[in-house]
Amino acid sequence: MFALEKEKPMSFPIIQKLRRPKEKTATFLLSTEPLKKPRLMKNYFFLFLAILFFIPGFAQPDTTETLPLAELVAFNAKAVDKVVVLKWSVPYSEEFKSFDIERAEDEGEFVKVGSKLAITKDSDAEYDFVDATPKRNHLLRYRLKLIAQNGSVTYSAFRETRLPDETFTVRLKQNPVRDKVELELVTTTANQAAVVVIANSGQQMAAQTYRLSAGVNQLALPASLFPQGLYQLAVEASNQRKTISFIKE
């Protein structure tokens, strides 16, 4: 008989899992310089917009011009007693809408003191203006702001003048008056004064010349024969003229 061999248990090979090796990742240091430039350009753009819209005068340059005096037929400023009289003329006046009169004291800024509408005329047009509020003891400078029909602005050259120093003052001692006109005149130097009384109708009622001394002078004119009404008392001395109104009762 055959002897049966003892059956050996079956053995299976151990299947080992093959692990995929980990992939090594490379670390790259990317430069940020290319990213900064667009950001800087964006910042510059917004900065430019801020300057353009929020800083006065940056986006709107001054387009005014100074008109050469040759383009004005004439422009003069003359001090007369307490006022300054300005006269000017321009060619082709229909091109202008109006004129602003500006004044500066000493080296100060120009300010508007009045205006005149342009005359519709295709030839030279003459204008005048009286500045009734100038100050003494100041250098006065005047210029014209010419405003065209289309809104554009042109400035003339400026003219200088100065009010004469006040050498005397005068006041009425009584107003209304009855028998006589009494006045007090104060002068800095000895000179003469011409006193004239003019009726409201323009008729000269009395005239007298007085010799003045430096200081306070008391003067009187007879007025008993004057009809009742309004009168002007004009006093001239040291190349200056002062006028006072009074009522005769």
**Which three-class secondary structure state does DSSP give residue 199?**
strand
What single letter denotes the amino acid at residue 76?
N
pLDDT score at 78: 92
pLDDT score at 66: 52
Average pLDDT over residues 25-48: 52
Asked if the model's pLDDT at residue 126 lies above 50, the reply is yes
Question: Which of 140, 161, 182 finishes a domain?
Answer: 161
Structural domain that includes position 232: 168-248
Q: Within a domain: residue 128? A: yes
- CATH number for 125: 2.60.40.10
Q: Within a domain: residue 217? A: yes
Same domain for 240 and 154: no
Q: What are 96-112's pLDDT values in tens digits? A: 889 999 999 988 999 99
pLDDT score at 119: 85
Strands across the sheet containing 125-131: 74-80, 83-90, 125-131
CA distance 68 to 249: 57
pLDDT score at 72: 73
**Which three-class secondary structure state does DSSP give residue 26?**
coil
Q: Within a domain: residue 57? A: no
Question: Which of 136, 161, 186 finishes a domain?
Answer: 161
Q: Within a domain: residue 36? A: no
Question: Which of 161, 191, 208 finishes a domain?
Answer: 161
Across the chain, how many H-helices and E-strands are there? 1, 16
- CATH number for 175: 2.60.40.1930
pLDDT score at 57: 45
Average pLDDT over residues 5-20: 48
Q: Within a domain: residue 38? A: no
Same domain for 149 and 210: no
Instruction: Count structural domains, the chain.
Output: 2
DSSP string, 214-239: SEEEEEEEE-TTSPSEEEEEEEEETT
Same domain for 82 and 142: yes
Asked if the model's pLDDT at residue 35 lies above 70, the reply is no
Asked if the model's pLDDT at residue 84 lies above 90, the reply is yes
